[in-house]
Copies of this chain bind each other. A is one copy, B any other.
Amino acid sequence: MPFTTSEENYIKSIYHLQQASGMVNTNTLAAEMQTRAASVTDMLKKLKAKKLLQYERYRGFRLSEAGKKAALDVVRKHRLWEYFLAEHLKFDWDKVHPIAEELEHISSDELVQRLDNFLGNPSFDPHGDPIPDRNGKIPVINQLSLTDIPLKKPVRVSSVSNQSAQMLEMLKHYHIALGTQITVLNHFSFDGSLEIKVLKHSPCIISEPVAKNVFVHYVQ
C-alpha cells in the first residue's frame, strides 16, 4: 500500500484536525487544505475504499487505525526532515516547514530509518513537536501552557502550538526559541497578559493569545 502524495496530504490533515475535535467535517478539511469541499468529498471516497477512514456521507469522518498509522508515518517523516534541515543544514526553524512538506513524501522506508539513526533518534522536532517512532508511538512530555505557570517558577520552552509565520516572527522578536528559559513575573488580570523574564533579556509583556500557544515544562 503505497499512497499518492495527495492521499498522504489528506490523511495528514485529517489526523491533525481530529487530534482536537475527534470527528472531522468536509468544510473544515477543505479550509485546512485550501481546496474545495467537492474535492474533499472525491478524496474521502477513495480513502474510504482503501479502508483508511470511517465515513458516512453527510455525517463526518475520522481515520481508521490503518489511516492513523499512515498519518503517523507521514508526520514522522516530516518531523525528522525538519530536524535535519534545522540541525544539520542550519535553516532557521521558521523556514523548514515548506521544504519538509515536500521531503515527507519520499517513500523509502530504509531512508527514514537511516535518517532517524543519523540524527540520533530525536524525540522532538525544531518546533518541539514529538516525533513518532517507527511503530507510531509518540513520546510525551509534561508540558503546560505558559498561561498556567505559577509566578517565579523557571520553565523551559518545549513547543509552540501555533506555527504561523506571524507567530514565529513574534517569538523571534521576544527572543523566545525552543529551550529558552522563562520566568513569569506577573499576571495582569485586566487582559490576561503576562510579564515575563526571558533569560539574559529585560522583562517584557506578552499578550494572552501569544502566551496560550507557548508550551513549557519545569526546569528540573
Residues of A within 8 A of B (CB): 85, 88-91, 95, 98-99, 102-103, 106-108, 110-111, 114-115, 118
Contact = CB atoms under 8 A, between A and B. Distances in A.
A80 to B, nearest CB: 12
Contacts of A118: 88-89
A111 B88 contact: no
Nearest to A5: B5
B108 A106 contact: no
Contacts of A115: 89
A111 B98 CA distance: 11
| Copies of this chain | 2
B91 A102 contact: no
B114 A106 contact: no
Given A90-B114, A99-B106, A102-B108, 8 more contacts: A85-B111, A89-B111, A89-B114, A89-B118, A91-B114, A99-B111, A102-B106, A103-B103
Contacts of A102: 106-108
Contacts of A103: 103, 106
Contacts of A95: 110
Contacts of A106: 99, 102-103
A109 to B, nearest CB: 11
B91 A99 contact: no
Nearest to A117: B89
Nearest to A118: B89
A98 B90 CA distance: 27
A91 B115 CA distance: 11
Contacts of A114: 89-91
